[in-house]
Homo-oligomer: A and B are copies of this chain.
Amino acid sequence: MTAPPIQPCFRALADPTRRDIVMMLARSDMTIGQLTDRFDMTRAAVKKHLTVLSDGGLITVRTRGRERINSLNPEGFAPVINWLSHFDQFWDDRLASLKSAIEGNEP
């Protein structure tokens, strides 16, 4: 029931390659090898990004044989969404309504 730390989550999203990975994993689960095929960098570099994403709680990993399947973890966005909601007073668009929906409040 301790709130997840916010810094690893923001840090994970601060890199464009990591945001691309998140977008890819939103479409389908992928192994490191599959992800590496889509980037112009080594597997070791992709692995580092995956570690940062995992530290940020944005992805989960499960083992299947010799493969490691990476999946998006939507709950991991909560710290960012929650922090942004502090600024609801400044905008009355979709974020506010999303936050309301999440909290089960009336719009």
A contacts with B, residue count (CB < 8 A): 45
Q: Tell me if A34 counts as interface (CB < 8 A to partner B).
A: no
A:85-107 near B, CB below 8 Å: 85-91, 93-95, 97-107
**Identical subunits present:** 2
Interface of A is mostly: helix
Q: Bound state CA distance, A62 and B100, in angstroms?
A: 22
Q: Whole-angstrom distance from the CB of A6 to the nearest CB of chain B? A: 8
A13 & B16 in contact (Cβ 8 Å cutoff): no
Q: Bound state CA distance, A94 and B75, in angstroms?
A: 8
B23 & A86 in contact (Cβ 8 Å cutoff): yes
Most chain B CB within 10 A, of A3, A26, A75, is at A75
